[in-house]
A and B are shown apart, each in its own frame.
Chain A
């Protein structure tokens, strides 16, 4: 009996270690065992800081992100090509607006720090204050650091994360530099968790790369909706709220499909959009080229996998 208890203890502690390594919330059994503190106190603060998340208001995305954007830790947002940097920058800025707004609702204005590698802001343009303002950001509290090398940018990010004043820290880098490898991203992640600051790593024109981020999202451009008219109809041919096509590349939950969002700067929140509403010819092309689903089987129960799903063979060449 005693032996069994010891074994159970070992298993629990192992599970806890694994959960800590994976930055995961503890499973029920372990949590129950852990909260039963000998002194009878619950570790309130620790638990609260671990669970700080910011819901994005779009159910499919929030499900994948396990509730929302983690407010202490690193999240990576990347785009594949420089020309898509506008969309990705828009998504990152929208997250920064949400973080800043959350703090503002609590009563204090916190600045957003945008650290940009010089090359990145030369290739994709500098942040533009009037544009940021109309996007919903408080530009009175927007600080921008332009820095030459990635190493220096990492130093600035690390310093910023240890200062508990920023609503969000954005680290914009270009490509996949060797000096931001797994260990460096781990270091930043730990710093961000300790400081309780959301760190958004914005990788411009970069490949998928293993990192310590909670989540990695790829942002692709998406056709915007149209401007609504006062009578409820849409103004034909106009360009409405900015829209994004989000692909979840790294998450603990199963990322089923592509998620399409639009950002409403006035309401300062995301709204899901139905992609087939908008006019995007390349969607039609894709559906024309994809393999037709087989007809439903007669002799078996339905629910078989659709043929034509691609597994992770992208790098096989």
Chain B
């Protein structure tokens, strides 16, 4: 067991990373050693990243212990850069997190100073002055490159800043100069944010935290009104909405709601979240309340404004979309489905259901291909054909009687066979052929039976299945 991380107190005692746990205990008997849980660390870091959403939507993870925040254009909302850093640090301190933060014009410089330097806000012209006294490890180099540099005496970044570039590249590779340029702000370094940036959003910060669900909904309705204005201005309607709730203790909840048609109506957006909140009710622990609510539109589509006419005939897709939204918000997107027909010979592939995501698609008339719907198909079909024991007069003839679900049925009439071969381009060539029979038992129940495998050619003891029931 080796130490991987230390708190300030342990560092002061003189412990080092990579030290054996037994040795460290010998140096400091009161040492409290906790087994590393990298998954939990990552989850915590992601939780913090969510929390940082309050400052900027562009938050990127940096390794195991850092976050990059792109605050371009955001600082003035929080009273300037210095005030922003102070706000972040004081809030994190209240959450029990010891953190360091630096604002500078490049990600590399912030990284270096946050770990090895002392400044809080660095102006672009000060970059080289601040960078010069820092050790070369502050350049985010691999450990062996850093060790190699130290061995040849290039211990500080200042030693590299004005050194000739060609010999450095030859000796240490191109990464060193790239990192150096990135830290000075000469080379661009794009951050990849964790989450996509919403195209529209509205936010409310509250002096008094909210706990009640009705209040959250009421506020969500207000926010919908704000979002609606910007949606309308762009002629768009949202399809995927997200309500972000930041609790006073820093925990972040994201509630997403899908809309079946592009929406820009405040009441209907709020209605989506009413159902969603009902559904996630148990997972949503309000604790001491939420201090920030933000409504974002994650996906939007073009929505042409429609004018109501005097004919008084209501547009049918609207109430249907409302119904679909309510259902999907409560039971998930797979709950409501529509019938689909595919061109396939195998019955289980020929018909099925697909989740209804777009109401507009179903309201448009799209005639089902007649060829895809042969006659004499059962009304209900079993997802998995059920094995039955059947007896037939001749091995490749219709069944005389069969035993399904522990009951004997005597066949009065049978129609068939309808031979359906497997689709070799999907299932492979050795998939058995089926002979389907429509049978009616003596009391008038009609079933769809099939015999798997051809007698004599594919097998000597074919099995029988019930695949569906007729009306």
User: Contact residues of A with B, CB < 8 Å?
Assistant: 82-87, 89-91, 93-94, 108-111, 122, 124-135, 139-147, 152, 155-156, 159-160, 163-165, 220-224, 237-239, 242-245, 263, 279-282
> Contact at A223–B412, with CB atoms within 8 Å?
yes
Within 8 A of A (CB), among B397-425: 404-405, 407, 412-413, 415
Which single member of B316, B339, B380, B415 contacts A86 (CB below 8 Å)? B380
Q: Which residues of B contact A111 (CB under 8 A)?
A: 320, 362
B380 touches A238 (CB 8 A): no
Given contacts A85-B380, A90-B379, contact A129 B351 (CB under 8 A): yes
- Give the complex CA separation of A238 and B350 in angstroms: 25
Query: Do the beta carbons of A263 and B471 come within 8 Å of each other?
Result: yes
Residue of A156, A160, A237, A238 with highest tally of chain B CB at under 10 A:
A156
Write the B425-454 contact mask toward A (1 if CB under 8 angstroms, else 0).
000000000000010101111110000000
Q: With an 8 A cutoff between CB atoms, is B44 at the interface? A: no
Contact: B379 with A140, CB < 8 Å? Answer: no
> Could you tell me the distance in whole angstroms from the C-beta of B326 to the nearest C-beta in chain A?
6
Q: What are 14 A-B pairs with beta-carbon distances under 8 A?
A: A84-B445, A86-B379, A124-B380, A129-B353, A130-B341, A130-B347, A131-B378, A134-B375, A134-B377, A164-B314, A165-B319, A224-B446, A238-B415, A282-B443
Q: Which residues of chain B have C-beta atoms less than 8 A from A159's C-beta?
A: 323, 326-327
Question: Which residues in window 301-338 of B have CB below 8 A to A?
Answer: 314, 316, 319-320, 322-323, 326-327, 330-331, 335-338
CB distance from B406 to the nearest CB of A (A): 11
* A131 in contact with B337 given A163-B322, A238-B413 (CB within 8 Å): no
Q: Give A153 to B93 CA distance when docked, in angstroms.
A: 49
Per-residue CB contact flags for chain B residues 356-382 toward chain A (1 = under 8 Å, else 0) read 100000100111100011111111111
Instruction: Using A125-B469, A126-B381 as known contacts, say yes or no to A140 and B362 having CB atoms under 8 A apart.
Output: yes
Find the B residue at minimum CB distance from A131.
Answer: B377
Please determine whether B374 and A130 come into contact, CB atoms closer than 8 angstroms.
yes
Q: Which residues of the partner chain A approach B356 to less than 8 Å between Cβ atoms?
A: 143
Residue B460 interfacial (CB < 8 Å): no
Chain A residues with CB below 8 A from B133, complex form: none
**Cβ-based interface call for B8 (8 A):** no
The distance in angstroms between the C-alpha atoms of A281 and B440, with both chains bound, is 13
Query: A222 touching B444 by the CB < 8 A rule?
Result: yes
A131 touches B381 (CB 8 A): yes
Q: Is B38 an interface residue (CB 8 A)?
A: no
B445 touches A133 (CB 8 A): no
State whether A139 touches B341 (Cβ < 8 A).
yes
A85, A89, A221 — which one has the most chain B CB atoms within 10 A of its CB? Answer: A221
- CB neighbours (8 Å) of B340 from chain A are 129
CA distance A164 to B318 in the complex (A): 11
Q: Across the interface, which residues of A come within 8 angstroms of B319, CB to CB? A: 163-165
Is B352 close to A, CB under 8 A? yes
CA distance A140 to B359 in the complex (A): 12
A128 is contacted by which of B326, B372, B380, B444 (Cβ under 8 Å)? B380
Contact, CB under 8 Å: B471 / A124: no
Kindly list chain A residues whose C-beta atoms are within 8 Å of the C-beta of B378: 86, 125, 128, 131
Asked if B68 is at the interface (CB within 8 A of a chain A CB), the reply is no
Query: Which residue on chain B has the smallest CB distance to residue A262?
Result: B471
* Interchain CB contact under 8 A, A145 and B336: yes
The answer on a CB contact under 8 Å between B471 and A86 is yes
Closest 4 CB pairs of A and B: A90-B471, A86-B469, A125-B380, A129-B351
Residues of B within 8 A of A128 (CB): 347, 351, 377-381, 468
Say whether B470 faces chain A, with CB atoms less than 8 Å apart.
yes
Contacts of B362 on A, CB cut-off 8 Å? 111, 140-141, 143
B383 within 8 A of A: yes
Contacts of A279 in B (CB 8 A): 412
**What residues on A are CB-neighbors of B440 within 8 Å?**
223-224, 239
Give A4 to B469 CA distance when docked, in angstroms.
Answer: 63
Q: How far is the CA of A128 from the CA of B382 in the complex (A)?
A: 9
